[in-house]
């Protein structure tokens, strides 16, 4: 049995606009990097957003957190969910943000559809490099070999159904060593 875990935080100003974050849960073996390092980030984010809500915060747009099952088995969990909700997702989704292997090294690797290139750059300028408090993630990224933004293609992870079935602007991020 395949089970996705989907969490919805309704937006305050644009509830019918969705920003979707996803990460898979199943692993080939023990899954320390793939996918549990990404799952740790998703769970941490979920906890922070939950705490913010207890203080009365609501996001501008609806945020949907997705913990996918059966990614390694052929992207089945995310693909079935996109197919099941195709019409709604096509008309309402602003962007899909995917993290698979969250951390397996020390350099930022990012791939996106072209609409999100500039957003990636701007967002990375607002995040401190966790290994160097005097520079941003953007500085670290530009100093590394992998500073170019790749393009999302093929079926590498759960962004696939969003990009290739319903044409949603998407990004995949990872901290890795190449
Ligand atoms: Zn994976």
Backbone angles phi, psi at 107, to 5 degrees: -120, 150
Residue 161's pLDDT is what?
98
Residue 178's pLDDT is what?
54
Rounded distance from Cα 23 to ligand 1 centre (Å): 8
Percentage, residues of the chain above pLDDT 70 = 99
The rounded distance, in Å, linking the Cα atoms of 28 and 94 is 31
- Helix runs in the chain, H state only: 36-54, 76-84, 86-92, 117-125, 137-143, 159-160
Residue 124's pLDDT is what?
94
> What torsion do the CA atoms of 167, 171, 177, 178 make, to the nearest 10 degrees?
20
Here the tokens at position 128 are 């401190």
Domain ranges (residues) in the chain? 5-102+150-176
Rounded distance from Cα 69 to ligand 1 centre (Å): 10
What number is the average pLDDT over the span 124-151?
Answer: 89
Q: Quick check: is 71 catalytic?
A: yes
Contacts 24+ apart (CB under 8 A), 112-119: 112/149, 112/150, 112/151, 112/152, 112/169, 112/170, 112/171, 112/172, 113/151, 113/152, 113/163, 113/169, 113/170, 113/171, 114/151, 115/169, 116/169, 116/170, 116/171, 117/149, 119/171
Residue range 5-102+150-176, CATH number: 3.40.630.10
Rounded distance from Cα 83 to ligand 1 centre (Å): 20
Tell me which of 71, 72, 84, 118 is the catalytic residue: 71
């Amino acid at each position: 049995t395949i089970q996705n875990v989907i969490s919805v935080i309704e937006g305050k100003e644009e509830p019918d606009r969705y920003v979707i974050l996803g990460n898979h849960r199943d692993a080939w073996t023990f899954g320390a990097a793939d996918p549990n390092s990404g799952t740790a980030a998703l769970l941490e984010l979920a906890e922070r957003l939950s705490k913010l809500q207890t203080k009365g915060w609501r996001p501008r747009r609806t945020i949907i957190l997705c913990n996918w099952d059966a990614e390694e088995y052929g992207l089945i969990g995310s693909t079935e969910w996109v197919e099941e909700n195709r019409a709604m997702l096509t008309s309402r989704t602003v962007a899909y943000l995917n993290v698979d292997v969250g951390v397996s090294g020390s350099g930022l690797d990012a791939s996106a559809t072209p609409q999100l290139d500039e957003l990636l750059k701007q967002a990375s300028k607002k995040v401190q490099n966790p290994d160097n408090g005097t520079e941003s993630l953007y500085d670290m990224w530009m100093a590394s070999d992998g500073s170019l933004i790749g393009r999302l293609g093929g079926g590498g992870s759960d962004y696939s159904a969003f990009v290739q079935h319903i044409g949603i602007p998407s990004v995949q991020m990872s901290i890795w060593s190449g």
